[in-house]
Structure 1
Amino acid sequence: MKILRYEAQPGGLVLETSEGRMKLTPYSSRTIRIQYTMETAFGGQESIMIIRGPDPDLSYTTKEESYHLIFSTADITIRIDKQTGAFAYYDTNGSLLVQEPSRGGKTLVPIEVVKAVFDDDVKLETGQGADGLRVRADHIRREVDRKAYQTRLAFDWVDGEALYGLGSHEEGMFNLRGQHQYLYQQNMKAVVPVLVSTGGYGIVVDSYSLMKFHDDAFGSYLSTDVDAEMDYYFVSGSELDDVVQGIRHLTGKAPMLPKWAYGYVQSKERYTSQDELIETVREYRARGLPLDCIVLDWKSWTGELWGQKTLDPERFPDPTKMMDELHRINARLMVSIWPIMNPDSDNHKEMARQNGLLANQATYDAFQEKARELYWKQANEGLFVHGIDAWWCDCTEPFEADWKGAVKPEPEERMLINTAEAKLYIDPQWINAYSLLHSRGIYEGQRRTSERKRVVNLTRSAFAGQHRYGTITWSGDISANWDTLRKQIPDGLNFCATGSPYWTLDIGGFFVRNKPDQWFWSGDYDEGIDDLGYRELYVRWFQYGTFLPMFRSHGTDTPREIWRFGEPGEPFYEALASFLSLRYRLLPYIYSLAFRIYKDDYTLMRALPFDFRHDPRTYDIGDQYMFGPALLVNPVTEPMYYGSGSKPIDGRSKTRSVYLPNGSLWYDFWDGRAYEGGQVIEAEAPLARIPLYVRAGSILPIGGEIRHAEDVSSDGRLIVRIYAGQSGSFELYEDDGDSYDYEKGHYANTLLQWDEARRTFAVGERRGTHCGPITDREIVVQLFEPSVRSGSSSEPVVQSIRYTGIAAEVVF
């Protein structure tokens, strides 16, 4: 591809080449949009992923050399080979970030887009699959709709760099170097077409079709199946946090979830009545076990009216009274709603009258604004008006075709089966976008209806930009076994690395038992909670879930309430209760970081290279991560006590190997022992705890024992742990917990600071317009500072402050 001529326009650099046209548009000094087309003009299709346009005042420079064109902003330089069109990207210091192969990295292959035609010969078949109601079509005619392109964007990665992102998939890949991945929406696959690199950059592909990532024997590239042109963004940043900030600058802010959403969410398949929901919450309260939300899963409707967004009056005779009682006992309710509807339901009939259905005449058309508005109207009138607090938008990748049979198809076969099904009902160029638009409809509808209740939408699929609609993505219907638990950790880290901050899973696995005739039903515990092996697995999963953005149990086959795993005084019960309590004591830390997610585009669940990019030993560690700036979490992912069938395991060490990243001193959260970074240790991991470490310089605010997120029964007493070794700060955040007033500045911040040299801890003046329920509190300051850094225990030095919002300081 030879560069024939170029023109530096006010909006960007346009290149005329021997094989089409390219345009480089600076969106910021660190973000460049690159388009490539074979047409005479660049496409005008409005992006549904990108919501931010270019900065009109941003300047760039262009310089021509003998063999290259040089495009530069203040932070990025792109060298373009005039003979091949190959791009090489450099940072502000002139260091190479990444480059395309010398022959050029951009390819467009013309294709004919084939669309399904639903005429009178089409037969629609309604049935019940493993994943709910399904309506499939047969005898479909196909015809060519238009011309488009398959795109391929190739790179020569820099030796030693690591790549993360692409969303949450089930294989447990972490560093994506040397891997390949198919990007299409499916149960257990949540696509986000974003890569980030330890080299200090990210790539955002603005495409909604089937995509593929390869870094293997077939090459190193990202490809798309159907697009009008190639369209992507290159985002640079000195750290991965800067890259994520650039991504969210393009795709939008992540709004705050209500405070209760960071507490514990109890779910199972399924609570069947109003009485059962209320009695379960009452049991949590009676036992003194914290809880904030209970979930009403599928079939809350009448009979077989799948997808109807009203509650069965026999089992839920008074929804408003039910919600009043749940709210009285300080619990919230999340309700499962589906995009597919039984033709006999009132919701379906109303949607059909307004031509709001896709071609299977069962799934609502989220690509239509009027259909999204009607879907919200139905959800509002049937559920939200009664006081429902949160949505579980299940099956947001509404077409699948391989959840059947005893043998799981090979990955490429699965891709072909499932994308072919989706392409019957959705334009091939848009098959990955359904969840994004579905989420948009829920968010915009609820915000039009009420500003007093924040949107919470737990959804099984995802896409870039979906986070701006108050979504949390969960990883789908996974199975209960240790291998799955191990793989979920890197899956979640890769999802959050894309700039989408809220991810969770089914604690304990969705499928617990094994059904050999169904490949996906592959749990290892046919006795469910009666199997001591499952109880151990569940405890370890629960301990891991304590340090996820949303802390949520769910699954089929066996109950999930805490008391199903034993009684007080018994080891499994006590382990679960202990970590449930810990999650709530950490809420001042977690909720403050939730505000940073909104304000600073922060990432809560952090792959180690986010904080230790200059320590290459962290690049391939996918089973440890940072939870905020302070806590190093190390889940236990192997059985130590029991195998399946309650078979005792003899002689197994009750430890796990932990790498403590270089460049910091680390404290054991449980006993205060300190360790130098840059070493691997064997950490104690009995059933009652997992290895948990705190980085030196951390300030960790910890609350009292509470029973729900808004509980003030502990009188606001706050423990502030200081981990010495370097200076540090933390901003404590408070607001009303559930409205959007924070967007108008109605909140309060209190700056906590530790000065290592002066050995002083300072609490700043409380700033902001939110007073909150507690204006006078005791702050107990615990300073951890071991005299010997060799693993010896450390008892903290303790001082107290009576804090009324006025700045105060203590000296140690």
Structure 2
Amino acid sequence: MYQLIQRQPELILQSPDTLLRLYPVHERAVRITMTGRDHFLPEPEHENLTPVVLNKTPFPDYVLREEGQTVTLKLKYCAVSVCLETGAIAYQDSTGMLLTQEPQRGGKHLVETRVLRNIFTGEGELVQRQSADGVKVTGGEYETVLDRMAYQAKVEFIFGEEGLYGFGSHEEGYGNLRGKSRQLYQQNMKACVPSFVSTKGYGFLFDCRSLMTFEDNAYGSYVWMDTVDELDYYFLAGPDYPSVLRTYRDLTGAAPMLPKWAFGYGQSKERYQTAAELIEIVEEYRRRKIPLSFIVQDWQTWEEGKWGQKSFDRSRYPDPAAMTRRLHELGAALMLSIWPNMNGMGENQQEMLEHGYMLGNRSTYNAFSKAARDLYWKQADEGIFQYGVDAWWCDCTEPFEADWSGTLRLEPHERLKRNVEAAKKYLDDGEWTAYSLCHSRGIYEGQRKTSEEKRVVNLTRSSFAGQHRYGALTWSGDIGANWETLARQIPEGLNFCASGEPFWSLDIGAFFVSPGNEWFRCGEYPHGCEDLGYRELYTRWLQFGTFLPMMRSHGADTPREIWRFGEPGTPFYDAIAKFIRLRMELLPYLYSQAAAVSMKGDTFLMPLGLAFPSDPASFDVTDQFMFGPSMMVCPVTRPMYYEAGSKPLEGVPKSRAVYLPAGSGWYDFWTGEFHYGGRSVEAEAPLERIPLYVKAGSILPLGPVLEYPGQAPHPELTLRVYPRKDGNFDLYDDEGDSYRYEKGMYSLTPVHWDDRRRTLTIGRREGCYPGMPQSQVFHIVLGKMEKTILVEHGEEIQISFDSLLG
């Protein structure tokens, strides 16, 4: 039995065994904490702490209602009711309608547990091994002591007729998580975000940095947490998913703008060996007139034997400043790989050890320490950034793994056990899953203090709630080249973005292409891009990758440059070139959506179930998604032309089934043909295209096919109008880099389509930025009709169409 013992500025309820606290931190969010102690822990304020939620100040504008055995905390957009008899919580919308609830027996559980800590002496033998995931070091002498008492925690739910999404990006290929399980721990090919959302328009964020599991099956529906100092989570209210998403960002921080070049096409492989090779690759793209926005230098730029040293081997990169200068002259940015682990006693490692900033293996730096993060950035700046490098690829940000070996993939429970134990040996049981969050913070804060002219771009292999605020993008790890993996990547990326983190990507073409003796070498193409079967798979992968926040080709075993797949006039080359060019055409749409992500809490990728929650048929669609507000992307995930070994396929239809969600009309992007929603169609999908649809009422801005962003600073733009419904679009632009947009140096041009009046209004451009043109040419396309207009700064123009065609 609970008693209400405090009403302001927060609700505190007491039972014989626990304290339960509820208070709003936002007009759409309630924080819920629970402890078995007689007091709640104070909010930690030390400089090493990297919080998930930035502002936990109680939101004062709520109403408290006490009715019999129920206490209700009511906000403008939601209400939370507690049963005094059991402590069970019911979560409601603004009208009092039940969204979800805990079982009446009480859905929150705490089990006291001991937290042990290993105190390393700095002595003892270290074991070094070369793995597919780089050099790994374990060992060292230590003493195990009791650090503190904490809890295992569990929160139960009763779900209804709804779809659930979130918890990050994993391997299984789950879409809707109803009836599924998730093991949340950080690992290569697992990027965990401790939050989920519902098609009913609510979500939960768990401030837990330990191992977690999610279950929705015969064992019940619950989230279990391995180690928490007290149960701490947030109910996020809607009434719809976009509102939940905005609330998540309000709590965890806004996503900064990435530079414009980051939304072009990037070329990479494992790995380019020299500065000359990097430059030659970009020059060849320029010769072929194929767009290329950035090139990526993978690992081992350091001197041989100095693993993880943040500097250039001058025998291969003799003049780093000249290298980046030449790449910039060619219009290409440079992203470079750095690692959190060091070995071989390079200068960086020695300096970290001298200051005591290494973890117990004397190889991995302690990203949980601000002082260690500051030193790591100093090393990165002096050894790399000062030479003009544009972006970071923070690889191996887990940073411990224990199962990337052997011919047989371990069973899920054994993988969990080994990997969690490997991390806990060196990191706190209740903190270790947030390593990547802290590491990303150090890079972001360090670069921002060094330069405001270059926006932070940080590609990481792991993630956590709030990591977006540090300019971090997450890719899905070292996946294998096969059709099944391609199909699984789509829903996993959607779940990652549904969690609240907007930037997800992958290795186009997969990392491992060839089969091998180790379980993770699951590619099916030993002859790489010489195999017509792989060429087809790669082409379809690149078509999917065209519609991700970052489009980056990368992997081992075989090169990935476009000329490796043929020459102009051959089918694979032409299909690849078509989509790289399409990516560049989409840049105004992409960059405007990036601004919506940053300023409005929006996202790039959305499962159909969250985009169309009133259509239950959309909940379990795993191979289609919304890309921004207008485009529905339907990748091809099965071979139509060749099997592995260049074996031709006969009689395979060059089409795929597509579900068109109810609640909207849909236009075929390629043909302009209109379809009503709420039904399935068989869509053509020859090698040179995948099914793409645009929502009725959309205004789609497109640009010319430039070789790189900025080649023509202010090109003419096309506005494609898709009628049958009113539509709006805010066209955003700025310098393309620097943080001056934070001071208001950007422009927004509102565009509105009035379907009844058949009129497009290009509103007055608001704002300005250095170098902004005073006029803009637009080509307006409506079906088969096209008009070209010049809009002067400060001018509003209406374009009336006499009829609708297409």
Tell me the distance in 2 between the aligned counterparts of 1:509 and 1:242: 34
Tell me the distance in 2 between the aligned counterparts of 1:119 and 1:773: 59
Structure 2 counterpart of 1:64, one-letter code? E
Compare 659-668 and 763-772 and name the one that shifted more: 763-772
Structure 2 counterpart of 1:807, one-letter code? E
Indicate the residue corresponding to 1:800 in structure 2: 788
Secondary structure (helix, strand or coil) at the match of 2:150 reads strand
Tell me the distance in 1 between the aligned counterparts of 2:571 and 2:763: 42
Tell me the distance in 2 between the aligned counterparts of 1:126 and 1:652: 50
Deviations 1:28-64 (A, max 9, x none): 1210000000112111243734343245562222222
Deviation at 1:536, TM superposition (A): 0.1
Tell me the distance in 2 between the aligned counterparts of 1:74 and 1:781: 42
Contact in 2 for aligned 1:61/1:71 (Cα 8 Å): yes
1:349-388 equivalent positions in 2, closer than 5 A: 349-388=350-389
Compare 759-768 and 189-198 and name the one that shifted more: 759-768
Residue 103, structure 1, aligned to residue 105, structure 2: yes
Contact in 1 for aligned 2:202/2:238 (Cα 8 Å): yes
Residue 410, structure 1, aligned to residue 411, structure 2: yes
Indicate the residue corresponding to 1:717 in structure 2: 716
Indicate the residue corresponding to 1:286 in structure 2: 287
Structure 1 counterpart of 2:788, one-letter code? S
Compare 701-710 and 453-462 and name the one that shifted more: 701-710
Percent of aligned pairs sharing the same letter: 51
Tell me the distance in 2 between the aligned counterparts of 1:369 and 1:574: 49
Tell me the distance in 2 between the aligned counterparts of 1:807 and 1:245: 30
Deviation at 1:383, TM superposition (A): 0.5
Q: 1:761 to 1:772 in 2, by over 3 A?
A: farther
Compare 608-617 and 314-323 and name the one that shifted more: 608-617
Indicate the residue corresponding to 2:497 in structure 1: 496
Secondary structure (helix, strand or coil) at the match of 2:433 reads coil
Indicate the residue corresponding to 1:596 in structure 2: 596
Structure 1 counterpart of 2:428, one-letter code? D
Indicate the residue corresponding to 2:193 in structure 1: 192
Q: 1:560 to 1:16 in 2, by over 3 A?
A: same
Indicate the residue corresponding to 2:50 in structure 1: 48
Q: 1:665 to 1:498 in 2, by over 3 A?
A: same
Tell me the distance in 1 between the aligned counterparts of 2:352 and 2:55: 34
Deviations 1:305-346 (A, max 9, x none): 110000000000000011111111111110100000114200
Residue 732, structure 1, aligned to residue 720, structure 2: no
Contact in 1 for aligned 2:267/2:561 (Cα 8 Å): yes
Indicate the residue corresponding to 1:37 in structure 2: 35
Deviations 1:559-579 (A, max 9, x none): 000110000000000000000
Indicate the residue corresponding to 1:537 in structure 2: 537
Structure 2 counterpart of 1:103, one-letter code? R
Structure 1 counterpart of 2:799, one-letter code? V
Compare 170-179 and 601-610 and name the one that shifted more: 601-610
Q: 1:738 to 1:678 in 2, by over 3 A?
A: same
Tell me the distance in 2 between the aligned counterparts of 1:776 and 1:319: 39
Compare 238-247 and 71-80 and name the one that shifted more: 71-80
Structure 1 counterpart of 2:717, one-letter code? L
Contact in 1 for aligned 2:195/2:205 (Cα 8 Å): yes
Deviation at 1:138, TM superposition (A): 6.1
Tell me the distance in 1 between the aligned counterparts of 2:146 and 2:25: 36
Tell me the distance in 1 between the aligned counterparts of 2:132 and 2:629: 41
Indicate the residue corresponding to 2:62 in structure 1: 60
Indicate the residue corresponding to 2:88 in structure 1: 86
Secondary structure (helix, strand or coil) at the match of 1:462 reads coil
Indicate the residue corresponding to 1:431 in structure 2: 432
Indicate the residue corresponding to 1:167 in structure 2: 168
Compare 147-156 and 66-75 and name the one that shifted more: 66-75
Secondary structure (helix, strand or coil) at the match of 1:269 reads coil
Contact in 2 for aligned 1:513/1:525 (Cα 8 Å): yes
Compare 215-224 and 288-297 and name the one that shifted more: 215-224
Tell me the distance in 2 between the aligned counterparts of 1:543 and 1:93: 44
Indicate the residue corresponding to 1:742 in structure 2: 741
Tell me the distance in 1 between the aligned counterparts of 2:697 and 2:791: 22
Deviation at 1:771, TM superposition (A): 5.7
1:204-603 equivalent positions in 2, closer than 5 A: 204-515=205-516, 517-603=517-603
Tell me the distance in 2 between the aligned counterparts of 1:44 and 1:7: 17
Deviation at 1:153, TM superposition (A): 0.6
Tell me the distance in 1 between the aligned counterparts of 2:515 and 2:234: 44
Contact in 2 for aligned 1:630/1:698 (Cα 8 Å): yes
Secondary structure (helix, strand or coil) at the match of 1:686 reads coil
Structure 2 counterpart of 1:185, one-letter code? Q
Tell me the distance in 1 between the aligned counterparts of 2:191 and 2:249: 18
Contact in 2 for aligned 1:4/1:18 (Cα 8 Å): no
Residue 605, structure 1, aligned to residue 593, structure 2: no
Tell me the distance in 1 between the aligned counterparts of 2:768 and 2:668: 37
Computed over aligned residues only, the root mean square deviation of the Cα atoms, in angstroms, reads 1.3
Deviations 1:707-751 (A, max 9, x none): 1011218x6221110001011111111100010000000011111
Tell me the distance in 1 between the aligned counterparts of 2:223 and 2:361: 31
Deviations 1:275-331 (A, max 9, x none): 000000000000000001101101110112110000000000000011111111111
Structure 2 counterpart of 1:729, one-letter code? N
Tell me the distance in 2 between the aligned counterparts of 1:656 and 1:430: 45
Structure 2 counterpart of 1:755, one-letter code? D
Tell me the distance in 2 between the aligned counterparts of 1:558 and 1:81: 61
Compare 37-46 and 308-317 and name the one that shifted more: 37-46
Contact in 1 for aligned 2:74/2:80 (Cα 8 Å): yes
Deviation at 1:91, TM superposition (A): 0.7
Q: 1:207 to 1:57 in 2, by over 3 A?
A: closer
Deviations 1:468-496 (A, max 9, x none): 00000000000000000000000000000
Secondary structure (helix, strand or coil) at the match of 2:61 reads coil
Contact in 2 for aligned 1:343/1:362 (Cα 8 Å): no
Contact in 2 for aligned 1:393/1:460 (Cα 8 Å): yes
Contact in 1 for aligned 2:23/2:58 (Cα 8 Å): no
Secondary structure (helix, strand or coil) at the match of 1:429 reads coil
Structure 2 counterpart of 1:808, one-letter code? I
Unpaired segments ≥5 residues, structure 1: 785-795
Secondary structure (helix, strand or coil) at the match of 1:315 reads coil
Tell me the distance in 2 between the aligned counterparts of 1:295 and 1:554: 9
1:3-18 equivalent positions in 2, closer than 5 A: 3-10=2-9, 12-18=10-16
Contact in 2 for aligned 1:734/1:772 (Cα 8 Å): no
Deviations 1:67-118 (A, max 9, x none): 2122212222222112111111111111101000110000000111122232
Secondary structure (helix, strand or coil) at the match of 1:18 reads coil
Indicate the residue corresponding to 1:645 in structure 2: 645
Tell me the distance in 2 between the aligned counterparts of 1:292 and 1:342: 33
Tell me the distance in 1 between the aligned counterparts of 2:122 and 2:460: 35
Deviation at 1:773, TM superposition (A): 5.3
Tell me the distance in 2 between the aligned counterparts of 1:28 and 1:776: 41
Deviation at 1:4, TM superposition (A): 3.1
Indicate the residue corresponding to 1:708 in structure 2: 708
Deviation at 1:201, TM superposition (A): 0.7
Contact in 2 for aligned 1:585/1:705 (Cα 8 Å): yes
Indicate the residue corresponding to 2:804 in structure 1: none
Contact in 1 for aligned 2:26/2:59 (Cα 8 Å): no
Deviation at 1:799, TM superposition (A): 1.4
Taking structure 1 as the reference length, the TM-score comes to: 0.97
Deviations 1:132-170 (A, max 9, x none): 011111665433222111000111112x11110000001
Contact in 2 for aligned 1:343/1:349 (Cα 8 Å): no
Deviation at 1:537, TM superposition (A): 0.2
Indicate the residue corresponding to 1:778 in structure 2: 777
Indicate the residue corresponding to 2:674 in structure 1: 674
Residue 809, structure 1, aligned to residue 798, structure 2: yes
Tell me the distance in 2 between the aligned counterparts of 1:671 and 1:258: 32
Structure 1 counterpart of 2:85, one-letter code? Q
Secondary structure (helix, strand or coil) at the match of 1:749 reads strand
Residue 660, structure 1, aligned to residue 648, structure 2: no
Structure 2 counterpart of 1:654, one-letter code? K
